[in-house]
Each structure stands twice: as structure tokens, then as C-alpha cells.
């Protein structure tokens, strides 16, 4: 373990808060060549503001970063996210809830995760309670840079301590994969230059839903997809862009904007948004702006932003909050 006297460079670059004194720099290696063999052991050991470098390998474990470990930087050693994989196979039916099924749970604010893969490889059988989260991003001011988040149903969750939480997470140059509601939750998430990949479920008519936002109705900013790519191996016209989620009957109002992005042929062009239970998609705040590709289009079922409206729905606006946070640069 090496003690750092200065603020980690990554914290400055990513717009994170200053690290605590005596932050550590440690390595994790499954073969025992590092300071720790597991990522959880490293998280448990280091103080807030530390940097954890994870060596090439597959780490089959569940990991939780507690709220008290603010300012951690967790990064893959090689820079290639495919080289460093944190994976587990828990589902809601195993753990008792969707949230606790996560492979990686990050409760701490000011966290940066870079160049690694987080995966839930639970094997779906078509039974109930098969929600299987890969990443639960539960803290404010979190940055995920060049990561892969892999799963099926409920891959990536943005959550918080209450249904009105406004935690912010920024995903840059990353890849997210799943099938049903695989980007979901109540926080504010920005996806900048990301690939959003819908897996085929083998259906000729319905291969899932990309988003299930549960944005608080007083929060103007939910999910933003900016200059990203929506891809799939599913048949044409079989994937919805999203549906509005009202967890436990809360009076939330989903907010999702997809702008200047490429939409593949898998997207339903006639009506890409749909209802969830009794919550109708028209009661949500779903919008598009200047999208391209075979799945793009403009019609009465595809609300579009005007140019002046689009100026208020930028990554910077979503993430600024009341403290002016700007990890975008």
C-alpha cells in the first residue's frame, strides 16, 4: 500500500471532490501479486479518496462501496475494460430484492470507476423475480468512464435513499447491455458517447425495453443519452426505447431524452415508448432530438424537442445540480 500526499490526478480530471489526507494507492490481483486478492477486500481496507488499481483477470464476487468511502477511484490496470471483469450471478429471487442482486453497488459519492467490466451472468429461465442487476449506482457525483455493464433484465440501476433522490451519474465512452428495463431507476444519469446494446430474447415481436425511468416529478432531469449508439441483434422493430416506472405506486414522472444519437433498426419506429402497468407513456417526459439511423423517425408517438428546448437538455445541465458539478469538461 502506497500513501499519497496529494489529491489523485483522476479526481481532478473527473471533477470529483478533493481526496482525504493519507489516501492510499493499492492494487488488486487475483493471483496474489497485488496488495489484495479481491476488490471488496481493497475497498474495506483503504480510506476515502484512495485509488484502487485492479489487475487483469476475472473477479467473481459481489462488491459494495459504502457511503463513507467517498472519492474512491477504481480502475482497471490495462485500460481495456474487457481485461478486468467483476462478475456475479445473483438475482432478486436469490437475494430478496432487485437492489441487493447487484454485482457492484456504489453508495459513495464522488466515485470514479474506469476501464473495467461489471457483469451479472445470472442465467434467465423465464421464471419470476429474475431481475439481476450488474451495477447499482446509488451515490451522487459518480463518474463511469470506459466501462462495460453487462446483464439481461435490470442491468444498470440508479437509486438513492428516497424516491425523490437526485443523485447524478455520468457515463462516458461506455457500453451497457441488457434486454428488459436494463437502464432504470430514479436518479439523473447521462450517457455520453456510449453504446446501448439490446439483447435479443428470441421474440419476433417484443425483445424488451431499454429504459424504465422513475424520475421524481419535481426533478427536470432523468436520463440523457447524448451522441450515443443504440444497437442490437434483435429483429427490426421489436425493442422499445422505454416505459415509465412508478415503484411502489409513487407519483413519479419518468424523464428521458435521447438526442443526436444513432438508433438501429431494432427500435420500434411507429411507437418507441410504451406504458408500464397503469402508468401511461404519454404521462411521462419522453423526448428525442436530431436522432439518425433506421430506428429514428418523427411522428405523433415520438415527441421531439425544438432547438431552443434542446439547449436546456445538455450533459452539463443535467449534471450541474445546485453545486455546479461538471465532469464533462
Coil/strand/helix, residue 132: coil
pLDDT along the chain (329 residues), means of 10: 37 45 91 98 98 99 99 99 98 94 98 99 86 98 99 97 93 99 98 99 97 97 99 98 92 95 99 97 98 99 98 99 96
Asked if residue 78 is part of any domain, the answer here is no
H/E element, 10:
helix 9-13
Across the strands, what pairs with 184? 157, 212
CB contact set of 266 (below 8 Å; sequence gap of 6+): 198, 207, 230, 231, 232, 234, 235, 236, 237, 238, 239, 295
Strand locations in 77-208 (E): 84-88, 104-106, 112-114, 117-120, 135-137, 142-145, 148-150, 156-158, 168-172, 175-178, 180-185, 188-192, 195-198
Q: Find how far residue 292's CA is from the centre of its chain.
A: 23
Q: What is the CATH number of the domain that holds 316?
A: 2.160.20.10
Q: Which residues contact 308 (CB under 8 A, 6 or more apart)?
A: none
**Whole domain around residue 309: which residue ranges?**
155-320
Longest dimension (CA), the chain: 59
Instruction: Give how many domains the chain has, as a whole number.
Output: 1
In a domain, 31, yes or no: no
Give the integer Cα–Cα distance in Å for 56 and 85: 8
Q: Does residue 302 lie in a domain region?
A: yes
181 catalytic per annotation: yes
In angstroms, the CA 7 to CA 4 distance is 8
How confident is the model at residue 129, as a pLDDT? 82
Which helix (H) or strand (E) element contains residue 320? helix 315-320
- The verdict on residue 239 lying in a domain is yes
165 within a domain of the structure (yes/no): yes
Q: Is residue 300 part of a domain?
A: yes
Rg (CA), the chain: 19
**Contact residues for 190 (Cβ-Cβ < 8 A; gap 6+):** 168, 169, 170, 171, 223, 224, 226, 315, 318, 319, 328
Q: Which pLDDT value is given to residue 124?
A: 87
Q: What is the pTM of this model?
A: 0.93
Q: Compute φ and ψ for 305, nearest 5 degrees.
A: -80, 145
Distance CA 126, CA 120 (A): 16
Residue 328: predicted pLDDT: 98
Nearest to 264 by CA among 197, 219, 203: 197
d(CA 92, CA 100): 7
What is the model's pLDDT at position 242?
99
3-class secondary structure, 181: strand
Bridge partners of residue 165, in order along the sequence: none
**Does residue 306 sit within a domain?**
yes
| Residue 147 lies inside a defined structural domain of this protein | no
Task: Name the active-site residue from 181, 192, 218, 323.
Answer: 181
Amino acid at each position: 500500500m502506497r500513501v499519497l500526499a496529494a489529491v489523485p490526478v483522476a479526481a481532478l480530471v473527473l471533477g470529483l471532490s478533493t481526496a482525504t489526507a493519507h489516501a492510499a494507492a493499492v492494487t488488486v490481483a487475483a493471483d496474489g501479486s497485488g496488495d489484495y486478492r479481491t476488490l471488496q477486500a481493497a475497498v474495506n481496507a483503504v480510506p476515502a479518496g484512495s485509488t484502487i488499481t485492479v489487475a487483469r483477470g476475472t473477479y467473481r464476487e459481489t462488491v459494495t462501496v459504502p457511503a463513507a468511502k467517498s472519492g474512491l477511484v477504481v480502475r482497471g490496470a490495462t485500460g481495456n475494460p474487457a481485461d478486468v471483469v467483476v462478475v456475479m450471478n445473483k438475482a432478486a429471487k436469490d437475494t430478496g430484492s432487485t437492489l441487493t442482486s447487484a454485482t457492484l453497488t456504489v453508495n459513495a459519492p464522488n466515485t470514479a470507476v474506469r476501464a473495467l467490466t461489471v457483469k451479472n451472468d445470472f442465467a434467465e429461465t423465464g421464471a419470476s423475480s429474475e431481475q439481476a442487476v450488474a451495477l447499482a449506482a446509488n451515490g451522487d457525483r459518480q463518474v463511469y468512464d470506459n466501462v462495460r455493464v453487462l446483464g439481461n433484465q435490470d442491468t444498470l440501476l440508479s437509486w438513492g435513499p428516497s424516491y425523490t433522490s437526485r443523485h447524478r451519474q455520468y457515463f462516458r465512452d461506455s457500453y451497457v447491455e441488457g434486454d428488459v428495463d436494463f437502464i432504470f431507476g430514479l436518479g439523473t444519469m447521462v450517457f455520453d458517447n456510449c453504446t446501448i446494446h439490446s439483447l435479443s430474447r428470441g421474440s419476433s415481436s417484443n425483445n424488451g425495453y431499454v429504459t424504465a425511468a422513475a424520475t421524481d416529478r419535481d426533478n427536470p432531469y432523468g436520463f440523457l443519452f447524448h451522441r450515443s449508439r443504440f444497437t442490437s441483434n434483435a429483429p427490426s422493430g421489436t425493442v422499445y426505447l422505454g416505459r415509465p416506472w412508478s415503484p411502489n405506486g409513487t407519483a413519479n414522472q419518468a424523464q428521458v431524452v435521447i438526442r443526436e444519437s444513432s438508433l438501429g433498426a431494432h427500435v420500434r419506429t411507429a411507437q418507441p415508448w410504451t406504458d408500464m402497468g397503469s402508468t401511461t407513456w404519454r404521462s411521462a417526459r419522453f423526448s428525442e432530438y436530431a436522432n439518425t439511423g433506421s430506428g429514428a423517425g418523427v411522428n405523433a408517438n415520438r415527441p421531439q424537442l425544438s432547438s431552443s428546448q434542446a439547449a436546456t437538455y445538455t450533459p452539463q445541465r443535467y449534471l450541474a445540480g445546485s453545486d455546479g458539478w461538471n465532469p464533462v469538461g
